[in-house]
């Protein structure tokens, strides 16, 4: 795993065998449920219908909701009063959500997101490892149609430049 924390990440458990498992937290599940509910309600007419989502698209959409949750946690750290919000906890929640997103839909950009959060946590060695993994994965990456949709609102070129700068390669 590209991060090593003494404190656990919400919903992530490393077993003695080295295997890592995760469970969605209530907050993460609420974000995911909200996304799917919004999509279902945006269909034609007002009645809810049964609809089918391809499993790969479902994983991609779930990962997208988790990244959205991670972003909201990072945003909260910048907007909230330190006496009210535990910034370290928010960053750990964000890192956990980004890690889960990558596990569900391994887009290299999610590794970049995790690297940025690791920097915010002050985990510089792990952040460097994640930035390196991002650049290597992105170089080899051949996006599927689902990947292209998931990446449509991301600036991958800017992320590459930022990762290179973080690693001193530019």
pLDDT score at 52: 75
* Residue 5 pLDDT greater than 60, yes or no: no
> What pLDDT does residue 79 have?
83
Task: Give the Cα separation of 130 and 125 in Å (integer).
Answer: 9
Which residue did the predictor score with more confidence, 104 or 11? 104
Interval 13-66: pLDDT, tens: 877 887 778 888 889 988 988 888 887 776 665 565 667 788 899 999 999 999
pLDDT grade for 81, boundaries at 50, 70 and 90: confident
| Residue 69 CA: distances (Å) to CA of 6, 75, 98, 125 | 23, 10, 9, 25
Is residue 1 pLDDT above 60, yes or no?
Answer: no
pLDDT, tens only, 111-143: 999 999 999 999 999 999 999 999 999 999 999
The answer on pLDDT for 97 being more than 90 is yes
- Whole-number pLDDT of residue 13: 80
**Of 80-84, 97-101, 103-107, 124-128, which gets the smallest average pLDDT?**
80-84
Torsion of CA 170, 128, 2, 116, to 10 degrees: -80
Q: How many helices (H) and strands (E) does the chain have?
A: 7, 2
Q: What is the mean pLDDT of residues 89-109?
A: 95
In CATH terms, the fold of domain 12-166 is 1.25.40
pLDDT number for residue 170 = 62
């Amino acid at each position: 795993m590209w991060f090593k924390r003494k404190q656990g990440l919400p919903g992530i458990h490393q077993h003695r065998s080295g295997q890592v498992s995760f469970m969605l937290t209530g907050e993460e599940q609420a974000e995911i449920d909200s996304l799917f509910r919004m999509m279902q309600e945006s269909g034609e007419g007002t009645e809810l219908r049964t609809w089918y989502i391809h499993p790969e698209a479902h994983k991609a959409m779930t990962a997208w909701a988790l990244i959205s949750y991670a972003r909201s946690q990072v945003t909260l750290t910048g907007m909230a009063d330190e006496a009210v919000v535990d910034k370290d906890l928010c960053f750990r929640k964000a890192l956990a959500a980004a890690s889960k997103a990558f596990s569900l839909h391994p887009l290299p950009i999610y590794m970049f997101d995790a690297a940025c959060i690791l920097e915010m946590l002050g985990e510089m060695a792990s952040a460097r490892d994640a930035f390196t993994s991002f650049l290597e994965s992105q170089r080899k990456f051949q996006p599927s149609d689902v990947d292209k949709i998931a990446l449509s609102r991301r600036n991958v070129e800017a992320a590459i430049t930022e990762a290179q700068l973080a690693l001193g390669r530019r």
